[in-house]
Amino acid sequence: MFPTNKALATQHLEEFLPRAGIDYTSTRNYDYGRGWRQNVSMLSPCVRLRLLPEWEICRKALAHYKISQASKFIDEVCWRTYWKGWLEQRPSVWATYLTELKSELTNRFDGSEYHKITEGNSGIKFMDTWTRELKETGYLHNHTRMWYASIWIHTLKLPWVLGADFFMRHLLDADPASNTLSWRWVAGLHTPGKCYLAQADNIRKFTNGQINPDIQLATEPAELALSTIQPEPERLTHSKPLPTQGRIGLLLHDEDLSAASWLKQTSNCESIAGILPVSDYRCHKLSASVTEFRSACLKETLAENDGTYCTTVEAVLDWAQATKLDHVIMAQPSVGIWSEVLPTLETAFNTQNIQLTTKRHWWDEQLFPHATAGFFKFKKAIPSALTQLETPLLKL
């Protein structure tokens, strides 16, 4: 269902762009059902890995439309940037989520109702339909994700962290920021005093009458502990200058495959490799389909760049030693699973006197600092970023 190389992803985007203006604005919230998704791009798994990065999608949209005509499409693309920037400034929210998840799985949760829902055997017909689609395809329409999370939290009274984990393990496009923070928003933890309550009339309308909820949906939010209300944002650290001397290697990872383009162009790289931290993904119980999709995208990107595919830190170190590297450069990974991988990687390189330097793309450097509050404050910074899209490499 989803492209695993940039050429096919770009072709898919070009085919969708004629519908990215007023058609997208008026129909994007409709989930017409599995097999009929022409009203949305279905490219979110490619955006998640930056096989198609946000700035390239926006640039192509603006080649077809004025900003005002494509504003809703551009907003939806930029939500992922917003979530990532927000979490970069509050990394403790991810750490707290992992702690609460472990507690729910091991201490307080008996799992009976949870297992019925996650196995698609709850007896709630429409929830089971959505569960099967999620597990079989790795995808759910965005509006359906909101309904699903709301019913999980407020109607079924299941812990939000377990729902976020379920999505994280099966959605091809899930990243720690957009997935975790979206669940927090639905729960009422992201913006205190605001939550999302699914309504039967809304579900009927936006499924074109295909789904008529057969249970009474909550009309009041669930009572949740407020221990996970967000802390104040921390100051973002700026990227260090890239090395200019010695033998330099580029290390790709599935958090930002676009580095094969923009970061490669900034340095005279002797060699390229890529790492998929498979053992860490197993620890977080990512589904085989998620890992296989990421692996396929990374492998195809490496094949286009004559790169070496690795799944362990030891293999990456072997590559660096075999090519006699002095420096390794890589795109700065986002807060999440890579928060555990990166320190291990840095330690391994340090033992061999190899310098590791990470770099953010100018898009992130410019927009992340504006993700301090809600999206609508962040949105005010988007036009400034869009005006720079005609210059292909800025402030690297």
Residue 147: give its domain's CATH number: 1.10.579.10
pLDDT reading at 347 higher than 60 = yes
Query: Given the structure tokens 């009458």, which residue do they identify?
Result: 209
**Domain total in the chain:** 3
Residues 6+ apart with CB under 8 A from 83: 175, 177, 178, 181, 182, 371
Q: Do 53 and 80 touch, CB atoms closer than 8 A?
A: no
pLDDT of residue 126: 96
Q: How far apart are the first and last CA of the chain?
A: 34
Measured distance CA(181)–CA(224) in Å, rounded: 15
Mean pLDDT of the 213-241 span: 84
Q: Phi then psi for 269, rounded to 5 degrees? A: -80, 135
321: domain CATH number is 3.40.50.620
Please give the Cα distance from 379 to 89 (Å, whole number): 17
> What letter would DSSP give residue 266?
G
**Boundary-marking domain end, from 152, 184, 206:** 206
pLDDT at 226 over 60: no
Select from 206, 240, 258 the last residue of a domain: 206
Q: How many whole angstroms from its chain centre is CA 311? A: 20
Contacts of 238 (CB under 8 A, 6+ apart): 365
C-beta atoms surrounding 177 within 10 Å: 24
How many residues make up the chain in this entry?
A: 396
Give one DSSP letter per residue of 151-211, joined into a string: IIIIIS---HHHHHHHHHHH-TT--HHHHHHHHHHHHTTTTTT------HHHHHHHTTTS-
Report the alpha-carbon distance of residue 165 to residue 102 in Å, rounded: 10
Residues 103, 65 share a domain:
no
**Mean per-residue pLDDT, 132-155:** 98
User: In this structure, is residue 233 part of a structural domain?
Assistant: no
Q: What is the pTM of this model?
A: 0.95
Is pLDDT at 394 greater than 50 in this prediction? no
User: Percent of the chain, pLDDT > 70?
Assistant: 96
Domain identity same for 34 and 64: yes
Q: Are residues 287 and 191 in the same domain?
A: no
| Mean pLDDT (the chain, rounded) | 93
Identity of the highest mean pLDDT range in 80-84, 191-195, 242-246:
80-84
49: tokens are 């890995």
Q: What residue ranges in 208-367 does DSSP mark as E strands?
A: 248-253, 269-275, 308-310, 327-331, 355-359
In the predicted model, is pLDDT for residue 303 greater than 70?
A: yes
Which of 133, 88, 173 lies closest to 147 in space, CA to CA? 133
- Find out whether 153 and 186 touch, Cβ atoms under 8 Å: yes
Bridge partners (DSSP) listed for residue 248? 269, 327
pLDDT band at residue 285 under the 50/70/90 scheme: very high
Q: Is residue 220 part of a domain?
A: no
What Cα–Cα distance (Å) separates residue 345 from each residue in 76, 315, 358?
A: 33, 11, 12
Check whether residue 354 and residue 375 sit in a common domain: no
Q: Identify the pLDDT of residue 232.
A: 87
Q: Are residues 53 and 99 in the same domain?
A: no
Residue 81, token pair as written in the block? 């940037």
Task: Evaluate whether residue 228 is within a structural domain.
Answer: no
* Tokens representing residue 298 in the block: 């990374």
Average the pLDDT over 179-187 and give the result.
96
Query: Which of these, 215, 181, 184, lies nearest to 198 by C-alpha position?
Result: 215
Assess whether pLDDT exceeds 80 at residue 364. yes
pLDDT of residue 387: 86
Does 163 lie in the same domain as 76?
no
What are 36-73's pLDDT values in tens digits?
999 999 999 999 999 999 999 999 999 999 999 999 99
In the three-class reduction of DSSP (H, G, I as helix; E, B as strand; rest coil), residue 263 is classed as coil
Task: Answer whether residue 108 is part of any domain.
Answer: yes
For residue 391, pLDDT over 60 is answered with no
117 in the same domain as 47: no
| Position 229 in a domain | no
- For residues 262 and 349, membership in a common domain is answered with yes
Given a cut of 60, is residue 228 above it in pLDDT? no
Residues 55 and 108 in one domain: no
Residue 211 included in any domain? no
Q: Which residue has the higher pLDDT, 8 or 110?
A: 8
Q: Are residues 252 and 344 in the same domain?
A: yes
Domain shared by 123 and 184, yes or no: yes
User: 24 in a domain, yes or no?
Assistant: yes
- Crossing angle (nearest 10°) for helices 288-304 and 160-170: 40
What's the maximum distance between 2 C-alpha atoms anywhere in the chain?
Answer: 66
Q: What is the pLDDT of residues 246-271, one digit of tens each?
A: 999 999 999 999 999 999 988 889 99
Task: Let me know whether 120 and 180 are in one domain.
Answer: yes
- pLDDT confidence of residue 332: 96
Q: Is residue 155 part of a domain?
A: yes
Which residues span the domain enclosing 293? 248-359
